[in-house]
Amino acid sequence: MIAAVNESTWEHLKLVFWPGLFFSLFEYNFLKEWLANFWIAKLSSLLIMPLVIALGWYGVVAIFGENIFATNIALFIAAIILGQWVSYQIMISNRFTAIGQQAAIVGIMLLTFAFGLFTFFPPKIFLFEHIDLMNTGEYGILDNYEDLLIFQR
Per-residue confidence at 149, pLDDT binned at 50, 70, 90?
low
Burial 4-30 (b: 16+ CB within 10 A, else e): ebbbbbbbbbbbbbbebbeebeebeee
pLDDT in tens, 74-104: 999 999 999 999 999 999 887 778 899 999 9
Averaged confidence pLDDT in the chain = 87
Query: Is there a contact between 15 and 49 (Cβ–Cβ < 8 Å)?
Result: no
Q: Using a pLDDT cut of 70, give the percent of the chain over it.
A: 88
Q: What is the pTM of this model?
A: 0.84
